[in-house]
Every structure is written in structure tokens, then in C-alpha cells.
Structure 1
Amino acid sequence: MAQAGVISTAWADEPWTLDGAAVRVSLMCWGRDRAPMPMLDGLAVPAIHADLTAGIANLTTARRLLENAGVAFMGDTKGGAFDVPGELARQWLLLPTNPNGRPNADVLRPWANGMDVTRRPSDTWIIDFGWTMTEAEAAYYVAPYAHVAQHVRLVRATNKREAYARAWWRHVEARQGMNKALTGLHRFIVTPRVAKHRLFAWMRSPALPDCQLIAIARDDDTTFGILHSRFHELWALRLGTALEDRPRYTPSTTFETFPFPKGLTPNRPATADTANPHSQAIATAAQALVVARDRWLNPPELILHVPEVTAGYQDRMVPKNSAATALMRGRTLTALYNQRGKPEGAWLDALHAALDTAVASAYGLAGNLTDDEVVVQLLAFNHSHTVTAVEN
């Protein structure tokens, strides 16, 4: 007899048409009908977990780990047309200092969303007055303030949240915690919240990640390598927001539950890596991956490195000519990772295999585990961490 409160039959992801709109739905049944085993998507399984999976590992039992807290953040939510084309931003950067004696560089930052990572960079900048600047202080930055006053103020005045309407010159969610965590880092890791492939990339400070990116406040190659390994990818695919065909990456359920190898957790000081052979091996493999990947994305034969019009920003990479522009249009991270498992992607597969081997060694695991075996081991590692974050 199936017990009340226990899922007896479920369909995890089914196509549905509602009022002419194609949607995806999940269906669950509870009851006391006689059945030898629960049924998931038409197959008999030992049990159905709360996330509508039936694997050996019940990942709904994964705990948030304290050593991962305060490292991964959703990016900035602007709440208005604060973003401007790079050409306009550069005009403002070249203007004389403002009546307060300060340059517009104080409030202008390169900006990126998920498509800037998965596709080609859009050369978009953003006006950012921070989360403490008063309107009177913002007004001293004449050109950026005038732009926001024209394009944002009237829209924000109608916002139902009084704080958003009142402080219209500020972003609605400036992510103070993220900005503080990124302070002092010359680069940090980003990954799209939702994407076809679980990709990680470097972003250079003072660039501002949009809310469609998750920012990870680490600048070391070891953390980058662990995150881009098969181990973290499998974990992220299973721990992403449930019931989506493209799982959503979240700081809480995905990053903070992931058990990093002992001694390589995100709360470690960067200086500790020099004495850890596993860290060095992972870092070397990650560097090789990034170097080769970046060269495919931006071949030196096709691009020019152009210094920004003022100091403090990363050089721009621009095509050398119209032919280069056409060729580079198809060189995106998504296009590159679509080649995995194909002859043209053999070099990328080999680099990821080397990275996976280094990460497996850091865990003390064999390199030939199946996907299910990897997830089972990671869940066991998660449970073995005795210090966990307070659940909320």
C-alpha cells in the first residue's frame, strides 16, 4: 500500500498545451492504490525524491556549507535604463572633471549579462551611483546624471516599491554584499544563471555583472578549475532550480551546497594554494583550458587590443577588419561547447579531461566514476562536513 504523503506516481517534465500556449508541467499523485513500486515517468523506481528524481543520491538532503557562504552572489539588478553603449560611455570618460572635481569614471563601469558571456561581448557600460550616494552628490556627475534623469526617473516614479521610486538614481538591487566581496580582487568568476552549458568565465574589475550572472568572489585558478570540472557540473545540473529544462544556477542551493575538496574550500586564503600540490595541479589545468579557449574565441590574427580612453579599465578587443568581424561573430562560448564530443572539439575535451583528473585526485577519487557514482560521492562529502550554514 502506498502511504499518504508519499509520491506514488509522478511525471517530472511533460509537455502541455494551455489556452494555445506550450508549457512544461510536472504531475504528482498520492494515494493508497496497491502498486509494487512507485512510478516515475512510466518507470518503476525504488522511491521518488522531493525533486522528482529517483537516483541513488537524494540530493534534497544536501546541506548548505558554511565554508561556501558569502562567496557567490546574484549580480546587480539595475531597475531602469542605466546601461549605455560603450561609445557614449567613452565620450563621458573624456569630458573634463565635474564641478565636484571628480571624473565620470567614478560612476561608469563596463557591464555584462549572461549573453555577454555565452555570446560575444556587447560593449555595454552602466551608470552606477552605488547604494549610498545622495541625489545631490549624483548630480555633480553632470552627463551621467542627466542621462538617468531623462531615461530612468519617470519610469521609476511609478514603481510600486516606495524605496525604488524614491531613490530613482540608484539601482534597485545594488548587491552591497557582492560589491564588498569583490573589493580588492582584480578579477572574479562569473557563470550565467541559465544557459545551455554550465560555463564559467573571468570578469575583470571594475566591471559590473548583471543579475543574469552569478558572481563568485574568488580570483584563483584553483577555484575556477574546480567549478568548471565535471564534478561541479554534475552537481549544478542536479541542484539547479528544479523542473526546468535548463537548470538555474543559484548561490544558495547550487554553490553553497557543493562540497569542495578538503583544503580547497572557498574560504581558504589564496596563499595556502602554493603549498598544496592538488591546488597547483588544478590551477595548471585550469590555466591551460582558459588560455586555449580564449585563443579560440579571440585569435590574435583577427583582433586588436585597444587601451581604454582612460586608465583603470581592461583593454578592449576589437576585430582588425570587416572580415575578422564576420569570422568572430560565430566564435562564442556556446558555439565552442556545442563542439564537445565532436572531432572539432577534441582539443577542448582533452583539456577538460586533464582538469577532471586533477580535481578527482584532489577528492581522492578514481577518474573513471560514472555520473551517478560522482553524485553519490559528492553527496557523501556534503554530509561529512560537520559545520553547516544556518538554514533559512
Structure 2
Amino acid sequence: MKALPVIGWLLAWCLLSMPAQAQEVQHSSILEIGAAYAHEAGSWQKQDITWRPEWLVRFHSGARLMLRGQARLDVQDELSPGQPRQPFRARYTRKRLPNDHLELELREFYLNHYLADAFVSLGKQQVVWGQADGLRVLDVVNPLSYREFILPDIEHHRIPLWSALVEFPVHEWTAQMVWIPDATVTESTLSGAAYSLFPDPPGDSRLMVDRPDSLTTSDFGARFSTFERGWDLSLNYLYHTIDDPLIRFDPSEQRVLADYNRSHLLGGSASKPFGNVTLRSEVGLESEKRFLTPDTGAIVDTAVGSYVIGLDFSGWRDWFISAQFFQTYRFSNDTPDRSSQEQATLLVRRNALNDALTMEALCLYDLNNRDSLIQLHAEYAVATRVVLNAGADLFFGESTGTFGQFHDESRLEAGLTLSF
């Protein structure tokens, strides 16, 4: 059985069980017009118009129905060329692609309601865990879309999934239970795209994606959170499919195979303000992750631990500074390459002109590969509903690095956002 027949029927049953008359219907939309020019390659990377409509329906019972859509028209068609088969998405989570330049997507469609002390949310939605910004340790419930690598805000490149969530109090704690029968995994653009993470397949070989896709392989998890003596604490558990695949070439069948394994994630987070400084931290342990040994081609299964420590400073007027250190460690001597990987981030943000102007600089640095990504961004609110923006996404380092591989895709961008 697939995700939508189960979640969809539950959602339909809940809607039919409510009084037919809605108390209130609210609509809002965001229209974004943007362009990005890859100056190293000497070509336009995108010229697009994105419409994000939103409808909120409030019922007399107190229930709320949220629907968010997205329509994007990209004249250049460089970020996800053509009409890809979307092999990483489950059937009912895929976009609609009428032609090479237009894509339509139901981003979110969920119903939430209080049943006694329990908060229930059912439908296509995002579930956000953890304290880290950008670097994911616990925030792995929803996969990501790498259409533009990690450049957009995570809210826009996180893929909402068909899922059920319930929250309820347990003494001084809040318990959250989540069930996800949606088999969608992280969406990497294929060969030929600007930010392709897949190697070019040799010869006439084809890509085969082998991932669990049934109710018996659903993801499920639990999160317990509390506030104790100024500390915001959580304990997390998730049994899930690792979203990043093991990629290997099968010469006998001339195919590139991307397959996935199941794992138990156990971890927690903690944060607390100390005056003008806020300490954030989270740690996670995956019971199993698979790697391919380059020399022998052997597959190694190993536990992987990761953590992130962050400091946020807001002691200067109109300034915000945040720094993070992130490390992952493989608990096996047989794993390829190095056993640990480290990254660091630095974010500096300033508001000016009575908060009408926001300027931001973000640097991500990979300590192992010694490559980096620098994002510069500025927004100016011309009016309440009109915002101009401009920026640059700059990649540095060798072509074998996490960021350096996209050196030629460094870009300048500008855009306009209208809210109505």
C-alpha cells in the first residue's frame, strides 16, 4: 500500500466528519520574480517566476485546513533540465511537469485539530526537529530537494511528506509521535543539471533507484521536549530510511544503482540563552549507514555519530552573529577515506533603515576539503508588500570538494517579491 491511499483516506474521513460550513477562509499569495547569472560559466542559470498561493480554512470545531501550492516557470531550464522522471519521489509526492519550463506542486495539504489535550496534524506537511541552522543532525524527518543545492532557505528546499503527527503532554514534557508512510527520499538532480550530485553514467547505463516503498517500511519516530531551568531540551528517536543513497555501478547490467538502508536515529538537543549569547547544541547517532570502499568496491556498514554546537550573539543593536561547528564520525576502521568530517559556519546579519533593509553574509567552510560557500544577500522593503533583493552565491575550492565542485556555478542574483 502507498502513502496517499492511507493518509488521504484518513484526511477525507476527518473532513467529512466535520460540519460542512467553514467559519473562515483566508487566502494569501507570494509572487517571486528572480534571475541568477553564473558569471564563471558566462550564462544565465535561471530566470523564473514562482507563485506560492496559500489557503487557510477555519472550521467551527476549531480545526484548521492548510493548503499551500507552488507554480514555477523557469525560462532557462538549467537547474532541472527537461521533464525528469522524479525517481526519488513517491508517486503522490511528485510534481506535475506540463513541459520543460513549468512545474506545479502541491507543497502542503494538512488538517490539524485538538482532541482533548492532544494536537493532531494529518496530511502533507513538514516536521522540523533540532536546533541547528542548515547543518542537519536531527532535522532529517523530511528529505531535501537539491535543485539549487543548499542555496535556498531550507523551508523551500525541504520536501513535505504525507504523514500523521500527534502531540500531547506527559507530565512536564511534550511528546510528539510521527508516522510517515511516504517513501520520498532526498532529491538529487541528475547528470546535466547545474547542481548535479550524481556522476555521469558510463556509456548507455541507466539510473536505478531502489528504495523501500510500502507501509511495512514506513518511517516513525518520537520526540520528547521540555523547558527546564532555562534549558530548551529534547530527546529524539526516528526509525527511517537514510535519505542519502549508496551509489554504485553495476557493469553486468549497465546501470548506476542508488539504494538505501534503514537506520535507528537516537539523539537530543539543548539550548539556553546566557545574556546576549545563546548556546545551541544537538547530537545524533545513526545505527547504520552504508559506504562504498573505492579500492575494493566492498560495502561497509557502520554506525555514524554527529553533533553541532552553535553560539548566537545579539548584543549589538541591529546586529546578529551566529557561529556553528559540525562534525560526523564513522565508528568503523574499514570505512573509506577519513573517519571524521568537520564543517564550520559563520552568519552575520544587520538590519538598517528602521528594519527596511536587511544585509546578510553566510560562510560555510569544509575543514577537510578546505573549500567553502559564501552567500551574500540583501533585502529592501520598498513597501509593506514589495521587497527587492540581490545577492551572490560564491563557491571556492578544488573540484573534488563539497563546495568546490560547483565553482563554475557561482552566481549573482536579483529579484522582486510581491505579497498579496
**Which of structures 1 and 2 has the larger relative contact order (alpha carbons within 8 angstroms, sep 6+)?**
1
- Which structure's residues are more often helix, by fraction? 1
- Which structure's residues are more often strand, by fraction? 2
TM-score, normalised with respect to structure 2: 0.25
Query: Larger radius of gyration, structure 1 or 2?
Result: 1
